[in-house]
Structure 1
Amino acid sequence: MLLKRFFSQSSTGSMINRVNIGIFGAMNAGKSTLMNLITQQPTSIVDKKPGTTADTKIALMEIHSLGPVKLFDTAGLDEIGPLGLKKKEKTVSVIKETDLVLLIIDPTENITLETTNEILQVSKLRSKKVLIIYNIFADKVKAFEDSNNKTINQRIKELHSNFKKQFRKVEKLEVDLSQKDSGKIIFEYMRKNWADFQPEVPLLPSIIGDGNSVVFLNIPMDEETPSGRLLRPQAMAQEFLLRNWISTFAYRMDLKKARSPKEEIRRIEKERFLKAINSIKNNLSLLVTDSQAIDIIHPWTLDSQGNEIANITTFSIMMANYMSGGKLNRFIEGLDAFSKLKKGDKVLICEACNHDRILDDIGTKQIPDKIKKKWGENTIEIDFAFGREYQNKKISDYKVALHCGGCMIDKQKMSSRLQDLTDAGVPITNYGIVLSYFKSDEALKRVLKPWIKKN
């Protein structure tokens, strides 16, 4: 019963899952007006001058029935010139990480179907939910009908029939966004037509057991660990387990001592570790470790006969599975491409967070050093992408992408990245998987075993 409740919960630790809602359309269609109606405050600048929204505006809020949401107010897709092209590229990238697309159309304007169709095409390819809002500018309707010899209703019917050619069922709403009650109408429209059918992926596998179990969290806390807090994956694991009535044992391993050239120092550190393990061994269901410690954790959790004294996995693998919506197999399959690298191949190391890299950084130091050791100096070309974007890199040039756990981006961004790599034909694997692979085949099998579902 406890496990059933555990898997049906949407507890996700310290990261809030939000519905991403993007507002798209031509210039002056009413996008920023809609943004302000939803947020109920002057979040975006509204002006009759075309191109007022220069960059994507983001707002966080709660909407009843939808829960926590992230709103994106984007630039108009029909702006011309070099700056307009840059805005368009940014707007299209937002579509990719949006769950709910609100397409705003001013039916009195002679909009080009090319403008709206691009939004619909990307939305369709990425399986986005699209809601169309026809913003009826009351002061423009009569002039339109007089000059076009048709009613505004006929115009909307013509436009919508074209959109239905791309989406079999696309909902529409006709509203004057300048009216006082239009905000309530918009909220009801979204609530009525939005439902998130994607099941929640548990943060950790069912091997963690029930309320009688203990999960060991190995947290080395090296020089790059921020003061005053744990890293997000560690905090998420701790909160997730406690919320599901599973006890945790948080442990700080001294990696310098564990890797010391002096046998006596290594022995003392190993004894300290094993003492901690033995204190909970009767209830120990899983050990989750920082990926960089797998070279120590793997051999130290084997007895003198080579038998496992604990099930093990890594925080990075945990996050790769969770952030990708349970698509850990994508990262495992990507390891095959990584293992077959040859001279001249290019590897893209993707780290979703931005921080200054110091000392023994995993992404910029540890993994590149291991690649050079295995394939030779200057054999494999290594490139980096830090933060939320690929920095305009031509990702199809890379043989494989190595990604961190993705704890500093949301699931929508991770999904967008996975799809971009798929479209470019580039396999992807993960830090924790790669570091375990470098240790040994046995270590790799062990960190993946907890995630393998038994029939």
Structure 2
Amino acid sequence: MAEMNQSPRGTRIHIGLFGRRNAGKSSVINALTKQKIALVSDIAGTTTDPVYKAMELLPLGPIMLIDTAGIDDVGDLGKLRIGKTREVMTKTDVALIVMDAANPFSEFEEKLIEEFKRLGTPYLLVLNKCDTVPSADEIAEKLQAEVKEEFIVVSALNKSGFDRLRSAILSAAPRAFEDRPLIRDLLNPGDTVVFCVPIDTAAPKGRLILPQVQALRDTLDANANAIVAKENLIAAQLDNLKTPPALVVTDSQVFGKAAKIVPKEIPLTSFSILMARNKGDLTGLVEGAKAIESLKPGDKVLIAEACTHQCQAEDIGRVKIPAWLQEHVGGELSFEWYTGDSFPEDVSDYKLVIHCGACMINRRAMLSRQRQCREAGVPIVNYGVLIAYIKGILKRVLSPFPEAREALS
């Protein structure tokens, strides 16, 4: 039950720790959390895969701390670990670049700074192990003069400097970055929203999926009313209302049914489109939908699923979307899938990238993936936008979002 009450990973500020092997990243994690979360050893390369730790950092709120492998790792396995570290960089909201005070600054840290500047990610330079050198403050002053950056001196062993580090994290963290409205900015107090929630084989037993829960909570936060019904009861619910609802939100998979049932004067959209606006750039995803018309049989298409789940017979990303898209194109396409945190470093071979609703990743990760596609000249769209386009109702379901609707035309 405790897990049900925790903030989802995708809504937490992500704070990643980066640096060379044995810089003390894991020790800094443990000192920040005041727990032995990360495995600590004098052996270089102890941390192999990224380690995630959810916690509260007041007054910021829920955060996700991520420990990563050394950016200077070696060998074939080392290259794979560095690849995982680079994946974390794209989703990091605040980066801590951790250095050993006895061997503080090198080309590795310089490249990390350059990359975070390119990504637009705030970063902090942390000079760790100050207990191992006689004059850590003098080292920091000298580095600050050379690098023209501020260095925060800490010792994970004796816990010194961590009050200053926590304050710096609070100052650097983008407070409003994750706290974006999902639906509440579309509503006035007292409005009614009707949620169309189909229950199929992919629906989790005994609960709703995350976007549905978040949309329901956001509606309540707006002091609005929520009605939740399966698709076969939506017509009856609309007939029972004395006044039309302010909005109907449906699952994208039943777009066709919902569009026929809901009168055209009532705004209609989907959970996936709400998530596209919340987690990424909806206008960019709508622009990506127009590339569907240029697809030809044999083209390579990437489908990115940010969560890992057991595929069902009627899986949306593995079965339904490929079938709908191939029917629209008039021939077979070459599909590839990436799941979880994985995303290809090079997307230039694909003619289209189709992303899920992104409820399991944070906003910075989704924007980073969109930026990567844009820089490669590859259009990207998400499930809800693509389905609405193929069903011929995208313009209608974008009615609550005039800027994105304008991009379509």
Alpha-carbon distance change, 357 to 250 in structure 1, aligned in 2, over 3 angstroms: same
CA contact (8 A) 2:140 2:151 kept: no
Of the candidates 321, 337, 346, which is equivalent to residue 300 of structure 2? 346
User: What is the rounded CA distance, in whole Å, between the counterparts of 2:97 and 2:400 in structure 1?
Assistant: 43
Q: Secondary structure at the match of 2:246?
A: strand
Q: 1:364-402, CA deviations, whole angstroms, 9 ceiling, x for partnerless residues?
A: 222111222122232x32222222212x47421111111
User: What is the rounded CA distance, in whole Å, between the counterparts of 1:28 and 1:335 in structure 2?
Assistant: 46
CA contact (8 A) 1:33 1:177 kept: yes
Alpha-carbon distance change, 88 to 162 in structure 1, aligned in 2, over 3 angstroms: farther
Alpha-carbon distance change, 253 to 395 in structure 1, aligned in 2, over 3 angstroms: same
Alpha-carbon distance change, 450 to 156 in structure 1, aligned in 2, over 3 angstroms: same
Alpha-carbon distance change, 281 to 301 in structure 1, aligned in 2, over 3 angstroms: farther
Alpha-carbon distance change, 81 to 450 in structure 1, aligned in 2, over 3 angstroms: same
**Which aligned pairs between 1:15-414 and structure 2 lie closer than 5 A?**
15=8, 17-109=11-103, 113-141=106-134, 155-164=139-148, 170-194=149-173, 196=175, 198=177, 200-204=179-183, 206-211=185-190, 213-254=191-232, 273-280=234-241, 282-302=243-263, 308-324=264-280, 327-378=281-332, 380-390=333-343, 392=344, 394-414=346-366
- Report the structure number with the largest CA radius of gyration: 1
| 1:192 shift after superposition | 4.7
CA contact (8 A) 1:14 1:236 kept: no
Number of equivalences: 399
Alpha-carbon distance change, 341 to 180 in structure 1, aligned in 2, over 3 angstroms: closer
Q: Secondary structure at the match of 1:85?
A: helix
User: What is the rounded CA distance, in whole Å, between the counterparts of 2:364 and 2:382 in structure 1?
Assistant: 18
Q: 1:326-377, CA deviations, whole angstroms, 9 ceiling, x for partnerless residues?
A: x210110101112221243211122222112222222122211122212223
| 1:194 shift after superposition | 4.3
User: What is the rounded CA distance, in whole Å, between the counterparts of 1:71 and 1:342 in structure 2?
Assistant: 43
CA contact (8 A) 1:321 1:328 kept: yes
Alpha-carbon distance change, 129 to 399 in structure 1, aligned in 2, over 3 angstroms: same
CA contact (8 A) 1:96 1:122 kept: no
**What is the TM-score normalised by the length of structure 1?**
0.81
| 1:175 shift after superposition | 3.0
Q: 1:119-166, CA deviations, whole angstroms, 9 ceiling, x for partnerless residues?
A: 11111111111111122544444xxxxxxxxx76665445334533xx
| 1:18 shift after superposition | 1.7
State the one-letter code of the partner of 2:23: A
| 1:59 shift after superposition | 0.9
Report the aligned-residue RMSD: 2.5
User: What is the rounded CA distance, in whole Å, between the counterparts of 1:386 and 1:152 in structure 2?
Assistant: 43
User: What is the rounded CA distance, in whole Å, between the counterparts of 1:102 and 1:29 in structure 2?
Assistant: 12
CA contact (8 A) 1:348 1:385 kept: yes
| 1:247 shift after superposition | 0.8
CA contact (8 A) 1:350 1:401 kept: yes
Taking only the aligned residue pairs, the percentage that are identical comes to 32
| 1:98 shift after superposition | 0.9
Q: 1:281-329, CA deviations, whole angstroms, 9 ceiling, x for partnerless residues?
A: 5141111011111111112224xxxxx24211111111111111xx210
Structure 1: state its 5+ residue gaps. Answer: 1-12, 142-150, 165-169, 255-271, 303-307
Structure 2: state its 5+ residue gaps. Answer: 1-5
Alpha-carbon distance change, 92 to 160 in structure 1, aligned in 2, over 3 angstroms: farther
Alpha-carbon distance change, 140 to 349 in structure 1, aligned in 2, over 3 angstroms: same
CA contact (8 A) 1:15 1:236 kept: no
Alpha-carbon distance change, 363 to 281 in structure 1, aligned in 2, over 3 angstroms: farther
Pairing 1:422–2:374 present: yes
User: What is the rounded CA distance, in whole Å, between the counterparts of 2:206 and 2:378 in structure 1?
Assistant: 38
State the one-letter code of the partner of 1:118: K
| 1:49 shift after superposition | 1.7
User: What is the rounded CA distance, in whole Å, between the counterparts of 2:242 and 2:152 in structure 1?
Assistant: 60
Q: Secondary structure at the match of 1:449?
A: coil
Which range moved further: 427-436 or 329-338? 427-436
Alpha-carbon distance change, 178 to 214 in structure 1, aligned in 2, over 3 angstroms: same
User: What is the rounded CA distance, in whole Å, between the counterparts of 1:281 and 1:420 in structure 2?
Assistant: 48
